[in-house]
Amino acid sequence: MEFPGLEPGREDAEPAAAKASLGRHAPSAWNEEITHRQKVLLHAEPIFRLKIRGDARLTDEHELGHYDSTALVFKIFDLVLETMGLESELDMGGLAHAVGPLLRAMDEAAGKEPDPERHERAVRRVLDWLLNEDARREPFQVQYTDFGPGLEAETRLMPVTLMTEQFTSTGNGVPRLSPEAMNLYLNAINFPIEDRELAFAAMIRAQIDRGRLTEAEHSARAALALSIQLREQIEAVLRATQRDIRQVDWKTDVPQKLQEAMNHVKKRVLADRDITAAAEDKLNNLPPGSAEAQQMARIILLVELAFKQHVRLEERLIVALPTFLDEHARQAFSPRRGAAALDLASEVLEPLMRLTRAQALEITEPLVGVYSPISVPTVFWLEGLITQLLQPKREVREHVVEMPEREIQPVGEEPLRFDAETWAAAGKWLDTVQTSTRLSDLIKRARAGEADDAVVELVALRTLFLYAPDGESSDSLMAEKTGERFRLGAYQGDNLMLRRIKVGDAVET
């Protein structure tokens, strides 16, 4: 058999077409996509490290050597995802009890007598590994090789967190998977949460229609976990805005993210209702009390919980813009601190908890006297107590004051802060901007032109609106941040640059 471009009698010769192709489109030796895929796979390296070491966390005691750590790791992942955000969320002790059937099965396979105390030690050791207790719960450091533009080999370290411990409203510590571990377990580490949610919604509906209820329940649990994670991401952006507005890009990145999240939530709410209606219709046709009916009821409950998460997320998205405006008004013209506000939980409390007791006391003891007020001990005064007890009992009087009925009077329209004349005058001053002009120069020019205080104030407010307009603006002016500071009487803050947008100009978005 002859192939095109391969000379007869030379089986080792390359096809001519292949040579031409390599000449035109020579593949690069390395690219960023290879680095990304490598890092995706290496997120599982700590789990493989535990397995490759021969279950080192278990075999240091011979009675634990027959347990498979990889099976325990993924069962723990599954349990955490199944109960995440529910009232039955498992703590460390609950996980040990839930994994018990697997451990008993491995005991029987190894010919050993099941022992609950041994089971608890095995689960505790695996959890300690996932939390990286040996490194005080710091992220695992995974080593990989990257290549620069000139193919310079560089050895780098990638931090990998598999599991953390969080405290619920009841004060119990529960394990939580990191986003990387969650996506790794759900086979979705390279896909956005929104896409995964839509995919799970379609799968749940199809699985219900085909009667594959076990798969539908697993998909519903995974979709609920992704819904919680998406809501927590948006809430993290709002918390960062409240700490320091400079930490968040509210000009381009966050508005786009919020708009995408709002569109996604609207689709998810409709999808949740559609799935619930289909599941309830199936439930009505199942025998009451049957295993299938109970499983279908659990699916409906999980979908309703996901629906509540989306409703909560929608509420947060509705107040997102007012939160930004309120924080901008509060922080924009206030003195700036040298550094961004600290996140007390992650930047103060967590590093302190990783220290030994001696190290923590050395740091905190000097602060007790600084931040604790002086407490004066209470002194018992016998004479004052006897005088109070011997006082005659006073008559209790009801203080009732009759309020006259008031006739409700209609009120007119709410007075505006700026009247039409002030708006027209402020618009004229903004129309004078034909070349790039700083806000401070425009305020000086307006004052020199004998503009009153209301006009100057409205010019400043409209400039601030041009910097971060509410949606698309039809104004031909735009305001850009310069990083300069100014202070003119009652006005101070960032000296915004006003620029006229001409037809055909490329506007940076």
* Domain presence at residue 484: yes
* Domain presence at residue 398: no
Q: Is the pLDDT of residue 14 over 50?
A: no
* Domain presence at residue 378: no
* pTM confidence score: 0.42
- Co-location of 264 and 171 in the same domain: no
DSSP-H helix ranges across 115-245: 116-131, 179-185, 193-209, 213-243
Among 331, 357, 379, which residue terminates a domain?
Answer: 331
Average predicted confidence (pLDDT) for the chain = 78
Q: What CA–CA distance (Å, rounded) separates 16 from 22?
A: 10
In this structure, are residues 204 and 227 in contact, taking their beta carbons and an 8 Å threshold?
no
Among 136, 154, 180, which residue terminates a domain?
Answer: 180
* Domain presence at residue 17: no
pLDDT attached to residue 332:
66
DSSP secondary structure of 24-71: HSPPPS--HHHHHHHHHHHTTHHHHHHHHTTSHHHHTSGGGTTS-HHH
Partnered with residue 498 across adjacent β-strands are 437, 479
pLDDT attached to residue 470:
66
- Co-location of 248 and 297 in the same domain: yes
Range with lowest mean pLDDT among 68-72, 89-93, 298-302, 484-488 = 89-93
Sheet holding 497-500, edge to edge: 437-438, 497-500, 477-480
Q: Is the pLDDT of residue 53 over 80?
A: no
In this structure, are residues 459 and 446 in contact, taking their beta carbons and an 8 Å threshold?
yes
- Co-location of 108 and 54 in the same domain: yes
Q: Is the pLDDT of residue 51 over 70?
A: yes
Tens digit of pLDDT for each residue in 416-431?
888 888 899 888 888 8
DSSP secondary structure of 67-79: S-HHHHHHHHHHH
* Domain presence at residue 11: no
* Domain presence at residue 88: yes
- Co-location of 69 and 149 in the same domain: yes
Q: Is the pLDDT of residue 280 over 50?
A: yes
Residues whose CB falls within 8 Å of the CB of residue 73, separated by 6 or more in sequence, listed in order: 47, 50, 126, 130
* Domain presence at residue 258: yes
Tell me what percent of the residues of the chain surpass a pLDDT of 90. 1
- Co-location of 152 and 60 in the same domain: yes
Q: Retrieve residue 23's tokens.
A: 């000449």
pLDDT grade for 21, boundaries at 50, 70 and 90: very low
**Ramachandran bin of 132, using left for φ above 0, alpha for ψ from -120 to 50, beta for the remaining angles:** left
User: Across 328-469, where does the E strand assignment appear?
Assistant: 437-438
Domains in the chain: how many in total?
3
- Co-location of 176 and 223 in the same domain: no
Domain span at residue 80 reads: 32-180
- Co-location of 221 and 311 in the same domain: yes
* Domain presence at residue 491: yes
- Co-location of 132 and 54 in the same domain: yes
Q: Retrieve residue 312's tokens.
A: 């909560």
Among 147, 180, 213, which residue terminates a domain?
Answer: 180
- Residue written as tokens 């998810």? 268
Q: Please name which of 82, 120, 78 lies closest in space to residue 103, comparing C-alpha atoms.
A: 120
- Co-location of 156 and 56 in the same domain: yes
- Co-location of 253 and 303 in the same domain: yes
- Co-location of 79 and 142 in the same domain: yes
pLDDT attached to residue 506:
45
- Co-location of 207 and 172 in the same domain: no
